[in-house]
């Protein structure tokens, strides 16, 4: 099983484009390739769909697409291995800007990484569309903001070395990410658990030094 990367995205564009995206989000199931968000952003070649990443060399596919299986193509072109067809609550927020244009916001999980390759391709092919997305993957220690082709990605432990009290969380980027993903709350809980464990270990050591035999791994 992969680590799941949390994502939130806002897309602005012509109503015809937003209509299609809204339909995908509200459908919330996968029965055919067209049901996937990334397939809409950057369709996978049909010839690669039923291939397997088994080490086989398919020179004809390699020559045509640069890859001979679906996995290699997806991770390179989508930045994640699986398409997106499940969304947070199958819910989206849509705001009509004018008669021709609207924006839509929603969230989803992706395998290991945010699908920024698919974002890149979609805005490259649709100059009248803009995308702003955020992401957070605590297990792999990264978070970021992707805004119309510019990806600001931070290693959490390096960017906020003081944990939940670090000054980064007072910056505009830090506040935005924390509001969406509750990062400092989770950090604070982890820090409290670590402190409790440290105190417990110290108590055992003190009791041992007084002549009371205590195994460090057992409950006191």
Whether the per-residue pLDDT at 19 is higher than 90: the answer is: yes
pLDDT-derived band of residue 198, with 50, 70 and 90 as boundaries? confident
Whether the per-residue pLDDT at 216 is higher than 70: the answer is: no
Calculate mean pLDDT across residues 49-53. 82
- Average per-residue pLDDT in the chain? 90
Q: Provide the 8-state DSSP code for 216.
A: T
Q: What pLDDT is attached to residue 80?
A: 98
Residue 150 to residues 81, 116, 119, 137, 218, Cα–Cα distance (Å): 21, 10, 11, 19, 50
Phi and psi at 192, nearest 5°, equal -65, -40
pLDDT-derived band of residue 196, with 50, 70 and 90 as boundaries? confident
The 10s digit of each residue's pLDDT in 155-193 is 999 999 999 999 999 999 999 999 999 999 988 887 888
The token duo for 164 is 């939940």
Does residue 138 contact residue 186 with C-beta atoms inside 8 Å? yes
Does residue 130 contact residue 148 with C-beta atoms inside 8 Å? yes
Does residue 206 contact residue 196 with C-beta atoms inside 8 Å? no
- Rounded distance between C-alpha atoms, residue 7 and residue 122, angstroms: 17
Element (H, E) at 203: helix 183-209
The token duo for 211 is 């002549």
Q: What pLDDT is attached to residue 73?
A: 95
Residues in CB range of 185: below 8 A, 6 or more apart? 164
3-state SS, residue 8: strand
pLDDT-derived band of residue 85, with 50, 70 and 90 as boundaries? very high
**DSSP labels, 105-172:** EEEEEEESS--HHHHHHHHHH-TT-EEEEEEEETTTTEEEEEETTEEEEEEHHHH-TTGGG-GGGGSH
Phi and psi at 6, nearest 5°, equal -85, 135
Q: Chain centroid to CA 109: how far?
A: 6
User: Domain-by-domain residue ranges, the chain?
Assistant: 4-42+78-162
202 against 131, higher pLDDT: 131
């Amino acid at each position: 099983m992969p680590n799941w990367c949390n994502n939130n995205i806002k897309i602005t564009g012509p109503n015809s484009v937003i209509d299609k995206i809204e339909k995908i989000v509200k459908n919330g199931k996968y029965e055919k390739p067209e049901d996937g968000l990334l397939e809409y952003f950057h369709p996978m070649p049909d010839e690669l769909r039923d291939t397997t990443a088994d080490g086989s060399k398919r020179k004809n596919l390699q020559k045509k697409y640069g890859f001979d299986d679906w996995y290699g193509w997806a991770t390179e072109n989508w930045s994640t291995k699986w398409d997106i067809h499940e969304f947070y609550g199958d819910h989206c927020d849509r705001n009509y800007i004018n008669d021709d244009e609207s924006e839509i916001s929603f969230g989803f999980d992706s395998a290991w990484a945010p699908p920024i390759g698919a974002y890149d391709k979609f805005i490259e092919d649709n100059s009248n569309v803009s995308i702003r997305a955020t992401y957070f993957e605590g297990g792999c220690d990264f978070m970021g903001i992707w805004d119309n082709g510019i990806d600001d990605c931070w290693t959490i432990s390096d960017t906020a070395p003081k944990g939940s009290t670090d000054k980064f969380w007072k910056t505009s980027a830090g506040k935005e990410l924390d509001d969406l993903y509750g990062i400092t709350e989770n950090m604070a809980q982890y820090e409290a658990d670590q402190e409790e464990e440290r105190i417990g270990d110290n108590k055992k050591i003190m009791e041992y030094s007084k002549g009371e035999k205590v195994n460090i791994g057992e409950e006191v």
